[in-house]
Chains A and B, each alone.
Chain A
Amino acid sequence: GNSVTQMEGPVTLSEEAFLTINCTYTATGYPSLFWYVQYPGEGLQLLLKATKADDKGSNKGFEATYRKETTSFHLEKGSVQVSDSAVYFCALSLTGGFKTIFGAGTRLFVKA
């Protein structure tokens, strides 16, 4: 079946630290990959996406590269801010956003 595994949190960092949140996937086809962010009490917002192997998605200083050989889509940011504190979900879909499947989420706390 199709599934997403991401590192457990919470992750606690100081402001300006480097962030990596690991994500690996299992899929029967060639999925699109996404990172969504959820702020407290809010819905999900798309952070970035990649639709084929070796694509790099980027937004607001966050990046992730679609690695087919390692079935991974790790999220990185060079310098986190307090405002980045949220829950981050790695996700996949076999056809664009159709029936998106989510990982368990990783909570990030950034301290000033």
Chain B
Amino acid sequence: DAMVIQNPRYQVTQFGKPVTLSCSQTLNHNVMYWYQQKSSQAPKLLFHYYDKDFNNEADTPDNFQSRRPNTSFCFLDIRSPGLGDAAMYLCATSTAGNLDTEAFFGQGTRLTVV
């Protein structure tokens, strides 16, 4: 049973054309994350939502934005994709304050910029 679902699995967008990636969860976790993973690299945290509170990482470009309309859904908006934004984008969820748990990841969306 899929618990963190990302759509689409593959997305092709044009240089400079806004694109939105989506993520939904059935775990009712209060924290949702977006990671960027470039080829052969570690996933890099872009930002997270703790309930409705948005938390940006210091080095995340302004080109990346996020929305969380409710507990279950979270979106990643790339306002003007550049060639360097081609990557796998991973959505994850977790609870907070519980030591005996972990982050749950979706299958990722692979973004190609042409």
Contact = CB atoms under 8 A, between A and B. Distances in A.
A72 interface: no
Interface size class of A (residues with CB under 8 A): 20 to 34
A96 B106 contact: no
Interface stretch (A11-19, A60-68, A97-105): A97-105
Interface string B39-74: 011110100100000000000000000000000000
Contacts of A51: 99-100
Contacts, number: 73
B102 A96 contact: yes
A32 B102 contact: yes
Q: Is the interface on chain B under 10, 10 to 19, 20 to 34, or 35 or more residues?
A: 20 to 34
A98 B94 contact: yes
A96 B98 contact: yes
Contacts of B83: none
B107 A95 contact: no
A96 B105 contact: no
A33 to B, nearest CB: 10
Nearest to B57: A99
B43 A44 contact: yes
Contacts of B99: 32, 51-52, 95-96
A77 B104 CA distance: 23
B80 interface: no
B96 interface: yes
B103 A100 contact: yes
A46 B103 CA distance: 8
Closest 7 CB pairs of A and B: A97-B103, A97-B94, A102-B42, A96-B101, A97-B102, A44-B105, A43-B107
21 contacts: A42-B107, A43-B4, A43-B6, A43-B105, A43-B106, A43-B107, A44-B43, A45-B105, A46-B104, A89-B42, A89-B43, A96-B97, A96-B100, A97-B92, A99-B33, A99-B45, A99-B48, A100-B103, A101-B45, A105-B42, A107-B40
